[in-house]
A and B are shown apart, each in its own frame.
Chain A
Amino acid sequence: MSEHENQKPGMSRRNFLKNMGLTVGGIAIGGGVTSLFKPESNTKDQVVNAGSQHVHEVVSNDAALTFFKRQEDIDTLLAAIEQIYPTDELGPGAVELGAHIYIDRQLSSQWGINSDEYRKFPIMPFESALNRGDLIIAGLRHLNEVAMAQHEKRFRDLDDEAQIAILTAFQIGEVQAPNFSPPIFFAILRSLTIEGVYCDPMYGGNKNMQAWKMREFPGAQHSYYNEIEQEFKVIPPNSVAGH
């Protein structure tokens, strides 16, 4: 079943993910687990170098699990980000764009341990002591806890409406949690998803600049000196590496 057949309007997120082989019932093992991190056909992507006519083979780096360890967390993440930026008639959603790869790498980077922030004590009650990585894990697990409590199912097994309802409850603070703020968790997750969708492809998301194409965003162009006075037009996108 080709990937594009999954983009019919009305296809639910849950079915889409299932058909992509990205969710596994029961205990996660084998190809179903790793298929979400590797393209089905091969493990090498081919990249045309903008500066020359050669085709370089680049080993796919989709296989990296640099931050996440627990399959259930990954399952919840995929389902949540696909609700934040779904596949639709306009084109691919967060998962197909590789936003989960982006997020995984961000959380295992310095940013994931908040090395850019002032972290000194005392931490007041209204502040969070968790770093971003810990906060995302806590939030994803709590999504699952709430799903189990409300529906006796895991978050990834709920239908769209139920997933959206739970995410909304987190966003507006209708859900409580003992050691983190659900609205802050949601805001960071949303932010990471948007970044993972629209980032320069070298970060792992925005695969093949597909999101930029949907958005009619030209990416990293050298100059608009000749375009600045003109009406809008679509310009094929360019990545930073294409410079």
Chain B
Amino acid sequence: MAIELPKVDVVTIGAGWTGGIVAAELTKAGFNVVSIERGEDRGVQDFRYIHDEIKYGSRYGLLRKLNKETITFRNNAEGFARPLRSQIFNVTGDGVGGGTTHYAGQMHRYFPYDFELRSQTFEKYGEGKITPDTSIRDWGITYKELEPYYDKTEKIAAVSGEQDPYAGDRSNDYPLPPLKKSPALRLFEEATKKLGYKPFSIPGANASESYENPDGIKYNPCQYCSFCTFYACEYGAKADASYMLFPVAKRTGNFELRTNCEVRRILYEGDRATGVLYVNVITGEEFIQPADIVALTSYTVNNMRLLLLSKIGRPYNPETNEGVIGRNITDHHFSLGAIGFFEEKKFNLYAGSGVLGMAFNDWNADNFDHSNYDFIHGAQVEIRQGGITPIGTNNVPAGVPNWGKEFKQKSIHYTYRTLRVSAHRASLPTRTNFVDLDPTYKDDYGDPLLRITYDYNPNDRKVAKFINDKAEEVLKEMGADIIQQYPYVENHPGMFMYQHFGGGVIMGTDSNETAVNTHLQMWDMQNLFVCGASAFPQFGSTNPTLTVGALTYRSTEKMIEILSSR
């Protein structure tokens, strides 16, 4: 029998990026907030010995184990969805800080075009440019409306960067200058400028210098220690919610964090959320936490799943095109670009950080005229220097085996002589891609897993081929002796390694086809907010984190408005 607890103003489901934003903003505004996190508490005091490739790189030490729950995957509705049993295929954050503890920290703004993708594409190129099944949409909010929130998020997260010449207008410069340039980055910059492109330093939450953010959190400068993505920052240079959001909430006195507690259902009466049902995963005890506002701030996949399990919102049916929950699932990446081997040059690749890199967007969004191409949008081409580690990086040219004498010699020889020019592009949403609850596999509680039915859109495939050629050209200009494109991948392989999945609970202005409004409030349940990349009708080419932050900051204003007018 679940124990009912005293009501609070706001309960957040999860203590990661979006949970942290809600907790900080609402507690600062004088409201009491409880965050319920299924993982453990942790902070910078746990990160001193983080430079361990086995523990955190090979064994995913900061990520959620999949023994209780995972996702199932199939490319299309005719197939049988298999569970993604290994963390190699399903990377999910865990614990206080969530994904922001172990991410690289990339903080990209989307282009104005991204927010009005459908109307602007049709206006400029007509409807025939995409397949009839491609369900791209306008977000219901423009870049200009979101810009002040991009600005705010960049300041809180201490984003280092410089303006991309193609990006939308900014009200302010980046709060910190870009990170330093390594020799490999300078080589990329030189080569891309020669090719007529406009390179810029990749913006992100690795602080380039000491900085105090508007909440009074002090960041230290990034040390380029190279144990960044999949590792945590012991220096306080990476914008980790456990470092810069939850301490802000805690010091108000209005905040309570409950860890090792997993929310199993959102509770409601009619069209009003009443709170959440959660279980203490250690003791098995069940609790009901009532709240005036429920903020579903867990990872995208869990956002979708919890709504389906709680039977909130109308599940999407791909055959009838009705319903909303599970519609327009979306992603970006996949491994695109080329790799270059240099015989005569060695680079200081042992050093690096998650965000350290340069990029150009001449082939992205609608930054070039697509009239003579049979696809829309494009990709951001970039070079990254995250710092290589010897287990994860053993590049050898094609034809060399991946073990044995020749492998040992060549992998050692090319360790510091290999550079990648990679690219990310959006995977456009397709009507036949959707999520629902799996009929076969369950979690430890007996609840069905989330099933993902997903494959690439024809547009994705065209962009992949196009951009791999461009990456190769850059490496050629950089002087690489051997260049190999990444292998072309025809079908989505069911690997979710980047935690950049989205959609499923999309935002818009049409309550018939979208789940939340532009303040991330459920149309069907006005005191339930669903914060995350689950709101994206489609991804842009790059990482979702800054846009998720901006949307969430905007949604907290609505939450405060609701609570203030009770």
Task: Report the minimal beta-carbon distance from B190 to chain A, rounded to whole angstroms.
Answer: 15
Which chain B residues border A211 with CB–CB below 8 Å?
A: 390
User: Which of B54, B416, B440 is the one whose CB lies under 8 Å from A200?
Assistant: B54
Q: Does B85 contact A (CB under 8 A)?
A: yes
A199 vs B54: C-alpha distance when bound (angstroms): 6
Which chain B residues border A119 with CB–CB below 8 Å?
A: 67, 85
Which chain A residues border B82 with CB–CB below 8 Å?
A: 124, 126-127
Do A88 and B408 touch (CB < 8 A)?
yes
Which chain A residues border B517 with CB–CB below 8 Å?
A: none
Which chain B residues border A44 with CB–CB below 8 Å?
A: none
Q: Tally chain A residues at the interface, Cβ within 8 Å.
A: 53
Which chain B residues border A212 with CB–CB below 8 Å?
A: 390
Known: A111-B59, A116-B65, A118-B66. A240 touches B51 (CB 8 A): yes
Q: Does A195 contact B (CB under 8 A)?
A: yes
Q: Which of A86, A198, A212 has the most CB of B within 10 A?
A: A198
Do B351 and A227 touch (CB < 8 A)?
yes
Contact pattern, B 15-33, Cβ under 8 Å of A = 1, otherwise 0: 0000000000000000000
Do B182 and A228 touch (CB < 8 A)?
yes
Q: Does B412 contact A (CB under 8 A)?
A: yes
User: Which of A126, A195, A214, A243 is the one whose CB lies under 8 Å from B54?
Assistant: A195
User: Which of B67, B223, B227, B391 is the one whose CB lies under 8 Å from A195?
Assistant: B391
Which chain B residues border A195 with CB–CB below 8 Å?
A: 54, 58, 391
User: Which of B53, B351, B440 is the one whose CB lies under 8 Å from A228?
Assistant: B351
Task: Report the minimal beta-carbon distance from A118 to chain B, rounded to whole angstroms.
Answer: 4
Contact pattern, A 17-61, Cβ under 8 Å of B = 1, otherwise 0: 000000000000000000000000000000000000000000000
Do A116 and B391 touch (CB < 8 A)?
no
Q: Does A231 contact B (CB under 8 A)?
A: yes
Q: Does A2 contact B (CB under 8 A)?
A: no
Which chain B residues border A124 with CB–CB below 8 Å?
A: 80, 82
User: Which of A194, A216, A243 is the one whose CB lies under 8 Å from B48?
Assistant: A243
What is the predominant secondary structure among interface residues of chain B facing chain A? loop
Contact pattern, A 90-102, Cβ under 8 Å of B = 1, otherwise 0: 1001000000000
User: Which of A120, A214, A220, A224 is the one whose CB lies under 8 Å from B412?
Assistant: A214
Contact pattern, B 396-421, Cβ under 8 Å of A = 1, otherwise 0: 00000011110011001001100000
Q: Does B168 contact A (CB under 8 A)?
A: no
Which chain A residues border B409 with CB–CB below 8 Å?
A: 88, 90
Q: Does A15 contact B (CB under 8 A)?
A: no
Which chain A residues border B227 with CB–CB below 8 Å?
A: 220
Closest to A218 in B: B350
Do B223 and A223 touch (CB < 8 A)?
yes
Do B224 and A223 touch (CB < 8 A)?
yes
Do A243 and B391 touch (CB < 8 A)?
no
Do B84 and A118 touch (CB < 8 A)?
yes
A218 vs B222: C-alpha distance when bound (angstroms): 18
User: Which of A90, A115, A198 is the one whose CB lies under 8 Å from B390?
Assistant: A198
Which chain A residues border B408 with CB–CB below 8 Å?
A: 85-86, 88, 90, 93
Do A224 and B224 touch (CB < 8 A)?
yes
Which chain A residues border B180 with CB–CB below 8 Å?
A: 228-229
Known: A194-B391, A216-B416, A224-B226. A116 touches B87 (CB 8 A): yes
Contact pattern, B 225-269, Cβ under 8 Å of A = 1, otherwise 0: 111000000000000000000000000000000000000000000
Contact pattern, B 428-467, Cβ under 8 Å of A = 1, otherwise 0: 0000000000001110000000000000000000000000
Do A223 and B67 touch (CB < 8 A)?
no
Which chain B residues border A198 with CB–CB below 8 Å?
A: 53, 390-391
Which chain B residues border A93 with CB–CB below 8 Å?
A: 408
Do A228 and B348 touch (CB < 8 A)?
yes
Do A118 and B69 touch (CB < 8 A)?
yes
Which chain A residues border B126 with CB–CB below 8 Å?
A: none
Closest to A124 in B: B82
Do A194 and B394 touch (CB < 8 A)?
yes
Closest to A235 in B: B350
Do A200 and B391 touch (CB < 8 A)?
no
Closest to B346 in A: A232
A187 vs B387: C-alpha distance when bound (angstroms): 25
Q: Does B150 contact A (CB under 8 A)?
A: no
Interface hits, B66-114 → A, CB 8 Å: 66-70, 80, 82-87
A189 vs B416: C-alpha distance when bound (angstroms): 26
Closest to B385 in A: A228
Do B49 and A222 touch (CB < 8 A)?
no
User: Which of B85, B222, B349, B391 is the one whose CB lies under 8 Å from A118?
Assistant: B85
Do A120 and B390 touch (CB < 8 A)?
no
Which chain B residues border A225 with CB–CB below 8 Å?
A: 221-224
User: Which of B58, B348, B402 is the one whose CB lies under 8 Å from A190?
Assistant: B402
Which chain B residues border A227 with CB–CB below 8 Å?
A: 224, 348, 351
A119 vs B83: C-alpha distance when bound (angstroms): 9
Contacts beyond the supplied A198-B390, A216-B350, A228-B182: 8 A-B pairs with Cβ under 8 Å: A83-B404, A111-B59, A198-B391, A200-B52, A217-B415, A223-B223, A230-B183, A235-B350
Q: Pick 9 A–B contacts, CB within 8 A, sort by A.
A: A85-B408, A88-B408, A90-B409, A116-B60, A124-B80, A126-B82, A198-B53, A227-B348, A228-B224
